[in-house]
Structure 1
Amino acid sequence: MYRTILLPTDGNPPARAALDRAIELAQTYDATLRVVSVVNLGDAGILSPETVPVDGVRQSLRGRAEQIVGDAVERAREAGVRAESEVVVGVPHVEILDAAEDADLVVMGTHGRSGLKRALIGSVTERVVRRCDAPVLTVRAEE
């Protein structure tokens, strides 16, 4: 049923809960888990004052993203799941939708925000759910 499961992650608690679920599904369906982390251009200092060392910030964010996907792949492989990883730079929902083109299922964490908080903060997961051609399973972290 599922050959490739995409797990977008930023390492937050909902994403870690989604990793657990994605590993379970990959085991059940003998699927490959593809872990991707997006270094957000906004977080990389693109809109920061000229005095901010943008390249250093980018490298730091990329290093953190590589650690996150590396840890996720290691956990998956320890569970006997084929796994691969990728770190990309861009707008999170756009990059995730691009990565999802080759996936049979997307498993994403969600904070479960509602109302004004969701409207002000926005939701990468919500944007992916609305626009993704593949099914998207959303997972909340345990309170």
Structure 2
Amino acid sequence: MTVLVAFDGSTPSRKAAEHAFATYPDEEIVLLRVAEAASGSTTAGIDLAREYLKDRRDEIAEKGFDEVPEFENPDDVAFRTEVTVGQPAREIVAFAEEHDVDHVILGSHGRSGVSRVLLGSVAERVVRRSPVPVTVVR
């Protein structure tokens, strides 16, 4: 079984990782960091945008996951990290589809009302579009 944890360094994503470590210690755990690309015109400069995305992905991959050592992982559960660039909800769902992920775990900031409507909700989009079960950790 492969468990995908959406990770952005925030407190909710750390809680999601800790939940994965505690709940699935013997499974393959993948921490996925999605680096958001800068928005701009989609019609002009497609090649430039592709090059930027590749460079951005490489930059994030080189930095690694500085936050990982701060996780509560008392049993030293093994995990691996992956980096992708794009819109977070889309990238999480696409990664789950393309890599035979069995379960997705992600943190939620718990926004509600107007702030959720204005800001959108990655967790809600992933839950609606994911091909596999999703656990949202608060």
Q: Do the two structures share a fold, i.e. TM-score over 0.5?
A: yes
In structure 2, do the counterparts of structure 1 residues 75 and 100 end up closer, same or farther at CA, with 3 Å as the change threshold?
same
Q: Following the alignment from structure 1 to structure 2, what is the Cα–Cα distance between the partners of residues 6 and 97?
A: 10
Sort the Cα spacing of 1:107 and 1:123 in 2 relative to 1 into closer, same or farther, 3 A: same
Residues 1:74 and 1:113: Cα distance change in structure 2 (over 3 Å): closer
Which residue identity lines up with residue 31 of structure 1 in the other structure? Answer: E
Quote the Cα distance in structure 1 between the aligned partners of 2:110 and 2:62: 23
CA distance in structure 1 between the aligned counterparts of 2:29 and 2:94, rounded to whole angstroms? 16
Q: Percent identity?
A: 37
Distance (Å, rounded) in 2 between the aligned partners of 1:31 and 1:61 = 27
Count matched residues.
Answer: 124
Task: Give the 3-state SS of the residue equivalent to 2:117 in structure 1.
Answer: helix
The question of whether the paired residues in 2 share the 8 Å contact of 1:6 and 1:107 is answered with: yes
User: Unaligned regions of 5+ residues in structure 2, if any?
Assistant: 41-51
Distance in 2, matches of 1:65 and 1:137, equals 29
1:115 Cα deviation after fit: 0.9
* Distance across 1 between alignment mates of 2:3 and 2:57: 27
Counterpart mapping for 1:72-87 below 5 A: 72=68, 79-87=75-83
Question: Paired residue for 2:90, among 91, 94, 100?
Answer: 94
Offset, 1:99: 1.3
CA distance in 2, matches of 1:100, 1:94: 10
SS state at 1:128 partner: helix
Aligned residue for 1:118, secondary structure, equals helix
1:63 to 55, 60, 64: 60
Separation in 2, partners of 1:134, 1:73: 28
- What are the Cα deviations for residues 61-111 of structure 1, in whole angstroms up to 9, with x where unaligned? 94389433x643895887332311111111111110011122111110001
Which residue identity is paired with 1:67? Answer: G
Please point out which of 12, 25, 41 is paired with 2:37. Answer: 41
Cα gap change, 1:26 to 1:7, in 2 (>3 Å): same
2:24 is matched with 26
Residues 64/120 of structure 1: CA separation in 2 closer, same or farther (3 Å cut)? farther
Code of the residue aligned with 1:16 in structure 2: it is: R
Write the deviation string for residues 9-29 of structure 1: whole angstroms up to 9, x where unpaired.
1011110111110111221xx
| Structure 1 gap segments, 5+ residues each | 48-54
